[in-house]
């Protein structure tokens, strides 16, 4: 497959082999693309550099993985350093994947009404503003028809109990996609989001994915959950020229769950 022949770009958000960003990067590299990766910086007292190590192991021996650098999306100087590295290595980038989210566990687990001011600010900064920050940082190095993709969830469109403050972040992220699409459109740069159904990942576990997996199996038209590989393929589609002409879009990859207006087959399981 040569969908990404001569294409180069940045992958932000791989924590381990379960990360959605990794599923998308695998498809891109299988299609001939070259990727630069970032990892969450390790704490200075972590002498084993566990965050870096986990991602480095995945990239080992893969000639399509061109570099691995630390990035905390709340730090403007980190973003600058990453973009400078991408410019050095690639000149310009054809794709930018943003697959990052975080909220303090006590705010994520508590009811939305009890969200702390500090927790809200941190969640918004990392999970929503960071898309604007990295897209802005990459402005100079975007190739003419570059594509930007972020990962979102249905909890930003409708109230999904348990998703709480992260739902508010996703609503802001979805709106950012539309406004960034407008700003970058004249330069030929597209900005989209992929709205994935539940998947077992680090972040997914924090957001209560296990209960959601059962719900989706019963309610989604496809009567099953989606796979990492499927998200990888849709992500690669939106980051490739195959999706030229699509921008400002939230594409759902959720087995059709979002199309339902009633619990559907789940009603068969419930005694009224």
Ligand X SMILES: NC(=O)c1ccc[n+]([C@@H]2O[C@H](COP(=O)([O-])OP(=O)(O)OC[C@H]3O[C@@H](n4cnc5c(N)ncnc54)[C@H](O)[C@@H]3O)[C@@H](O)[C@H]2O)c1
Q: How far is the CB of 212 from ligand X (least distance, A)?
A: 7
Enumerate residues 224-253 that contact ligand X by CB under 6 A: none
Piece of the chain touching ligand X by CB under 6 A; list 14-22, 61-69, 110-118, 258-266:
14-22
Residue closer to ligand X by CB (options 73, 146) is 73
User: Does residue number 4 form part of the binding site for ligand X (CB under 6 A)?
Assistant: no
Q: Which of 153, 154, 216, 257 is catalytic?
A: 153
Q: Residue from 73, 131, 168, 189 that binds ligand X (CB under 6 A)?
A: 73
Residue closer to ligand X by CB (options 21, 184) is 21
- Known catalytic residue: 182? no
Piece of the chain touching ligand X by CB under 6 A; list 58-66, 67-75, 111-119, 217-225:
67-75
Residue closer to ligand X by CB (options 18, 188) is 18
Total binding residues toward ligand X, as defined by CB under 6 A:
27
Q: Residue from 151, 168, 180, 193 that binds ligand X (CB under 6 A)?
A: 151
Q: How far is the CB of 45 from ligand X (least distance, A)?
A: 18
Q: How far is the CB of 119 from ligand X (least distance, A)?
A: 14
User: Does residue number 40 form part of the binding site for ligand X (CB under 6 A)?
Assistant: yes
Range 236-240, long-range pairs (CB < 8 A, 24+ positions)? 236/3, 236/4, 236/24, 236/27, 236/28, 236/31, 238/147, 238/149, 238/192, 238/194, 239/9, 239/24, 239/28, 239/95, 239/97, 239/147, 239/149, 240/3, 240/4, 240/7, 240/31, 240/95, 240/147
Q: Residue from 4, 90, 153, 163 that binds ligand X (CB under 6 A)?
A: 153
> What is the per-residue binding string for ligand X in 123-142, x denoting contact by CB under 6 A?
---x----------------
User: Does residue number 100 form part of the binding site for ligand X (CB under 6 A)?
Assistant: yes
Q: How far is the CB of 57 from ligand X (least distance, A)?
A: 14
Q: Which of 102, 154, 163, 257 is catalytic?
A: 163
Q: Which residues are catalytic, by number?
A: 153, 163
Which residues contact ligand X (rule: CB under 6 A)?
Answer: 13-15, 19-21, 40, 71-74, 99-102, 126, 151-153, 196, 198-199, 201-204, 209
């Amino acid at each position: 497959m040569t969908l990404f022949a001569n294409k180069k770009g940045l992958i932000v958000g791989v924590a381990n082999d379960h990360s959605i960003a990794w599923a998308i990067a695998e498809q891109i590299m299988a299609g001939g693309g070259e990727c630069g990766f970032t990892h969450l910086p390790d704490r200075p007292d972590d002498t084993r550099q566990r965050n870096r190590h986990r991602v480095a192991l995945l990239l080992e021996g893969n000639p399509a993985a061109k570099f691995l650098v630390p990035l905390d999306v709340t730090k403007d100087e980190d973003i600058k350093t990453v973009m400078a590295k991408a410019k050095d290595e690639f000149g310009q980038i054809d794709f930018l994947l943003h697959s990052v989210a975080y909220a303090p566990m006590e705010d994520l687990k508590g009811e939305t009404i009890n969200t702390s001011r500090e927790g809200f600010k941190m969640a918004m900064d990392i999970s929503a503003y960071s898309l604007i920050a990295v897209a802005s940082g990459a402005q100079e190095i975007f190739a003419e028809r570059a594509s930007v993709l972020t990962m979102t969830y249905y909890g930003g469109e409708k109230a999904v109990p348990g998703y709480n403050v992260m739902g508010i972040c996703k609503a802001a992220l979805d709106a950012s996609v539309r406004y960034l699409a407008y700003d970058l459109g004249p330069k030929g740069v597209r900005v989209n989001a992929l709205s994935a159904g539940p998947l077992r990942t680090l972040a997914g576990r924090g957001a209560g994915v296990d209960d959601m997996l059962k719900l989706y199996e019963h309610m989604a038209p496809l009567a099953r959950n989606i796979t990492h590989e499927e998200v990888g393929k849709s992500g690669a589609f939106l980051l490739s020229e195959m999706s030229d002409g699509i921008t400002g879009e939230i594409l759902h990859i959720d087995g059709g769950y979002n199309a339902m207006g009633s619990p559907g087959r789940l009603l068969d399981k419930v005694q009224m």
